[in-house]
Chain A
Amino acid sequence: MRIASRGLPPLVAGLAIAYPFLVPNYYLVYAGALTVMYAAMATSWNLLGGFTGYVSLGHSAFFGLGAYGTGLLVTRMDVPWVVALLVSALLVTVFAVGVGIAAVRVRGASFVIVSIALVSMMNLIVQGWRSLTGGSTGLQVPSPFPDLHRGETHMVFFYLFLALLALALASWWYVSRSRFGAGLRAIREDEDKAESLGVPTGAYKVTAFALSALFVALAGGLYALWFGSLDPIFVFSILIASSMVLMSLLGGVRHLFGPLLGALIVAPAGEYFLIALGETQIHLTATGLVLVLVVLFMPDGILARFSRRRAGPSIPDETAEQRLQGVAP
């Protein structure tokens, strides 16, 4: 069993790398790129949500800012796309530090509301600042690969998003096994208690918030370069962050591969609903319904069902007493 579970990630990675060559048409490459993009974003979201338990619906703001930042640097300042992508993501990260310092002062539902307010503000600012952003008509971003046809572009961006996903997964794994990660998990379990044990919870939360924003901003920047057309109502939509939350919850927020598994289910399902039901609000209702069902019936996600519990349901007091009195249990 263990050998099987250890062999699974390399097998999935191999399949992912081969995917564009295994599918029969470029539409499926496009759908794959979209799925990997969401997987990368959900894994990034999970750097905050999974470790600390802070549910942010404001990550769409970082996606949108990353997209607009990259788009504006490319179109207005003729910056090479790679530089634009990195500079934009770094600027968004710095912005996220500032937002984080203010936002993580509140917990629970209050934090969710603050995060929603952030998206709404960014949406209004970008729509209102017409001279810079193009307002509600959006921003056109030239393709960084003008010599490639659309299908080949999908393939290139599939691999770029795959690299971002690998980076996000590696970061999550690295944090999870560090003392910093233990501190973040302690915040999720009992923030006051963690603070009393010397964990600087404020600094930890802001760091997780900014790190999470960094990867989401990179995803936003790649999205801008890939799609070439930015609509502020879409990129600053709460729906994007809701998808990250849904994917993470469905797969399991406490697991490295939880958000990835969630994305592999939700993103193709969303694409299917879109084709089957058309560009109506019905596919959004379906997404909302899945979110409600997951929260109600599977709050720990799919992977929690398969993870091994380390101990039985309870350890009786007698064992401790016997040990305390020197009696073998």
Chain B
Amino acid sequence: MTSLRTEGLSKSFGGVLAVDGATVELREGKINGLIGPNGSGKTTFFNLITGMIRPDAGRVLYRDRDITRHSPHRIAHAGIGRTFQLCRVFPRMTVLENMLVAVRRTRLRELLAGLRDKGEVERARHWLRRMGIEHLEDAEARDLSYGQQKLLELAAVLMAEPELVLLDEPAGGVNPALIDRIVSLVRDLNAEGRTFLVVEHNMDMVMGMCDHVIVFDRGAPIAEGPPSAVRDDPKVLEAYLGV
């Protein structure tokens, strides 16, 4: 079953064509990897899916529903969560407050209710525990190390209960022990039924973790399939090595 499908998605910035008619299909319940050389349009593709930027052409369908021109918060409500290439948390809010910002519903009564709703706080603590940072709940996010912020960012995304999670370079700037932890978390979360799309430059991580890999070059997919097949694809080697 298809989780998300893009059809002829295009975006240019001035004269630069960042994403060029990308047609991609993500399978439900799989860990999908998105790789490609620098500047191949991976992050722009992410931003197009999540509504951060509007496409010039093409469509984004999530579970057969057209979400192309939806605002990012509506896309989040639809069940798509994302992290950012450069880790982003709310620096002057506590770890717990960072978690409680995530909004699943927008009923007025719920919005005006106290922030520290018992059920929501428990849910936040559950995710913080799974990330191993529950002891930091009262610390301001800016006081956390980069690795801890990465975990917090992922925890906050999960707080919104997404079915499809987009991770933009989750291993970027973190130590090997934490990378192993993130891989393990992604696998566990996937086993619980979540679909992932992971942009990553760490090939060991991608090849070891993903079920399906899509390779981007010059704004469009040039190859896709299981990691073993993609690794030996001549088009992929050409894109990466220029041979």
Contacts and interface: CB of A to CB of B under 8 A. Distances in A.
Interface string B147-175: 11001000011011000000000000001
Majority secondary structure of chain A interface residues (helix, strand, loop or mixed) = helix
A178 B114 contact: yes
Interface residues of B, number: 54
Contacts of A314: 143, 145
Contacts of B138: 310-311
A200 B106 contact: yes
Interface stretch (B13-21, B24-32, B72-80, B218-226): B72-80
A113 interface: no
A1 interface: no
Contacts of B76: 195-198
A178 B143 contact: no
A199 B159 CA distance: 13
Interface string A43-61: 0000000000000000000
B92 A198 contact: no
B144 to A, nearest CB: 6
A200 B90 CA distance: 16
A328 to B, nearest CB: 11
B93 interface: yes
Interface in A77-105: none
Contacts of A321: 147, 175, 177-178
Interface stretch (B60-68, B128-136, B196-204): B128-136
Interface in B58-106: 71-73, 76-77, 81-82, 84, 88-94, 97, 100-104, 106
Contact of A186 (B52, B93, B140): B93
A325 interface: yes
Nearest to B104: A198
Contact of B157 (A182, A189, A197): A197
A254 B90 CA distance: 14
Contacts of B175: 317, 321
A198 B160 CA distance: 7
Contacts of B97: 182, 185
Given A189-B92, A196-B50, A320-B132, A183 B178 contact: no
A198 B145 contact: no
B139 A310 contact: yes
A6 interface: no
B77 A196 contact: no
A315 B142 CA distance: 9
Contacts of B229: none
B126 interface: no
Contacts of A310: 94, 138-140
Given A192-B52, A198-B76, A198-B104, A179 B113 contact: yes
A197 B145 contact: no
Contacts of A190: 88-90
Instruction: Determine which residue in A182, A194, A323, A325 has the highest number of CB atoms from chain B within 10 A of its CB, and name it.
Output: A182
Given A196-B52, A320-B133, A315 B148 contact: yes
Contacts of B52: 192, 196
B87 to A, nearest CB: 10
Given A180-B111, A197-B160, A314-B145, A202 B93 contact: no
B143 A179 contact: no
Contacts of B178: 320-321, 324
A14 interface: no
Point out which of B82, B101, B113 has the most chain A C-beta atoms below 10 A from its C-beta.
Answer: B101
A193 interface: yes
A179 B106 CA distance: 10
Nearest to A203: B106
A309 interface: yes
B110 interface: yes
A177 interface: yes
A146 interface: no
Interface string A182-224: 1101100110111111111111000000000000000000000
A66 interface: no
Given A194-B101, A197-B160, 16 more contacts: A178-B111, A179-B100, A179-B110, A183-B101, A183-B103, A189-B90, A189-B92, A189-B93, A192-B52, A195-B72, A197-B73, A199-B101, A199-B103, A200-B103, A315-B148, A324-B178
A-B pairs with lowest CB-CB distance, top 10: A311-B139, A198-B76, A189-B90, A198-B103, A317-B145, A195-B72, A180-B111, A186-B101, A197-B102, A193-B88
14 contacts: A177-B115, A177-B116, A183-B111, A190-B88, A190-B90, A194-B90, A195-B72, A197-B81, A198-B77, A198-B103, A203-B106, A315-B139, A317-B148, A320-B147
Interface of B: 50, 52, 71-73, 76-77, 81-82, 84, 88-94, 97, 100-104, 106, 110-117, 132-133, 135-136, 138-140, 143-148, 151, 156-157, 159-160, 175, 177-178, 181
